[in-house]
Amino acid sequence: MGKKEITASAKKELQEHLIARYKQNGGSITYGEMVREAIFTAAVNSLQVKNEIGYVDQETTGYMFEAFNETLLELFPKSFKKGDIDEIKMKYEILMNNANVKSIVNQHFNDLYSTTTKYV
């Protein structure tokens, strides 16, 4: 996949998760929840790619974070600022280095969508 496809896919998926969180909250979403959904969207995508091809390259990850930054700036211009993407990247790295990352990611999405699906 090229930059255009990665960016479009990442934006779409993040928007879907933000909408689910918004609905689950009864019509609101906090800054912390925006950040959290971006972190977990990045993690699930990275883990799925890693399962398929064995690694995730820096270029793809960079495109994904660019897409998240654009999406969050567009949807939440009053609360999300351009530099906030650095917080998401840092927390993503912490999550990805956790020995239980797959379990944590699965639990996050199971809570978000009230399922027992194995996402990664």
The whole-model pTM stands at 0.93
Residue 68 backbone dihedrals phi, psi, to 5 degrees: -65, -45
Q: pLDDT truncated to tens, each residue of the chain (120 aa)? A: 789 999 999 999 999 999 999 999 999 999 999 999 999 999 999 998 887 777 788 999 999 999 999 999 999 999 999 899 999 999 999 999 999 999 999 999 999 999 998 888
Q: Where are the domains of the chain?
A: 3-113
Residue with tokens 């993503």: 92
Retrieve residue 76's tokens.
Answer: 């939440």
Q: Packing angle between helix 58-75 and helix 3-24, nearest 10 degrees?
A: 50
Closest Cα partner for 85 from 70, 98, 104, 101? Answer: 70
What's the rounded Cα separation, in Å, for the pair 41 and 114? 17
